[in-house]
């Protein structure tokens, strides 16, 4: 009888320990879910602002192409860059978990950023565009969108950092793999991509070129 009571007591102790582990794992799971959803939410914001920029490109190209003798190669380049962005399709509701996928997305977006920067430099050679009300409106919208891209990208990295820090910290580091939570990749911009293109036009100054560079 005494042994039976001892055995029951041991089972109760182990049962309580097991229950405590389950409850603790549940708390960890809820925290990881909350942080993971925060990353997904911010990823959706990143996708939204990038899509907004892509939507502006056709109108921008159409307006600029109306200028006399505008450089067609520049328009072809920006159109091709926008097409490349459209080929990289990622789930807008869920942040990518593969570094390669995010890197592919970045390369396409950086290509469009570069093409837009070159377009804006070329545009400075066409003062008549300054008087175009549609162009001025697109200029303002593009500037605002580029700024939002920089902001949302930074917020996405902050959300990823918070999530990754937790899954590598005690006690979540023991439960995260078992619960299916893995480290998420950061949005790592290429050199110079953190600075949005300057959508400012000084039509009174010549465009810098090789001939104007100081030795």
CA 130, CA 133: separation in Å to the nearest integer? 8
CATH number for the domain formed by residue range(s) 2-199: 1.20.1440.20
pLDDT value of residue 70: 81
CB neighbour list of residue 84: distance below 8 Å, 6 or more residues apart: 108, 111, 112
Q: pLDDT-based confidence at 140, cuts 50/70/90?
A: confident
35-53, pLDDT tens digit by residue?
A: 999 999 999 999 999 999 9
- Distances, alpha carbon 131 to alpha carbons 43, 58, 74, 80, 208, in Å: 38, 20, 21, 27, 23
Looking up tokens 């959300």 gives 159
Least trusted range by pLDDT, from 10-19, 29-38, 41-50, 88-97: 10-19
| Whole-prediction pTM | 0.77
Q: Is the dihedral of CA 125, 129, 131, 137 positive or negative?
A: negative
Q: What are the E-state strand segments in 1-135?
A: none
Whether the CB-CB separation of 54 and 123 falls below 8 Å is answered with no
66-86, pLDDT tens digit by residue?
A: 877 788 888 899 999 999 999
Whether the CB-CB separation of 94 and 43 falls below 8 Å is answered with yes
Domain coordinates in residue numbering, the chain: 2-199
């Amino acid at each position: 009888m005494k042994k039976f009571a001892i055995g029951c007591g041991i089972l109760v102790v182990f049962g309580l320990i097991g229950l405590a582990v389950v409850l603790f794992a549940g708390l960890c799971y809820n925290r990881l879910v909350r942080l993971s959803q925060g990353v997904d939410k911010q990823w959706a914001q990143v996708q939204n602002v990038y899509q907004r920029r892509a939507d502006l490109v056709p109108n921008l190209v159409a307006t600029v192409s109306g200028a006399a003798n505008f450089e067609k190669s520049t328009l072809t380049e920006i159109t091709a860059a926008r097409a490349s962005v459209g080929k990289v399709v990622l789930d807008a509701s869920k942040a990518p978990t593969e570094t390669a996928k995010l890197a592919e997305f970045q390369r396409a977006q950086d290509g469009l950023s570069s093409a837009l920067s070159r377009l804006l430099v070329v545009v400075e050679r066409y003062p008549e565009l300054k008087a175009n009300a549609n162009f001025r409106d697109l200029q303002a919208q593009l500037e605002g969108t580029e700024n939002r891209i920089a902001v949302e990208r930074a917020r996405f990295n902050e959300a990823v950092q918070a999530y990754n820090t937790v899954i590598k910290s005690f006690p979540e580091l023991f439960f995260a793999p078992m619960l299916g939570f893995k480290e998420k990749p950061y949005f790592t911009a290429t050199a110079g991509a953190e600075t949005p293109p300057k959508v400012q036009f000084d039509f009174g100054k010549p465009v810098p070129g090789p001939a104007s560079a100081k030795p």
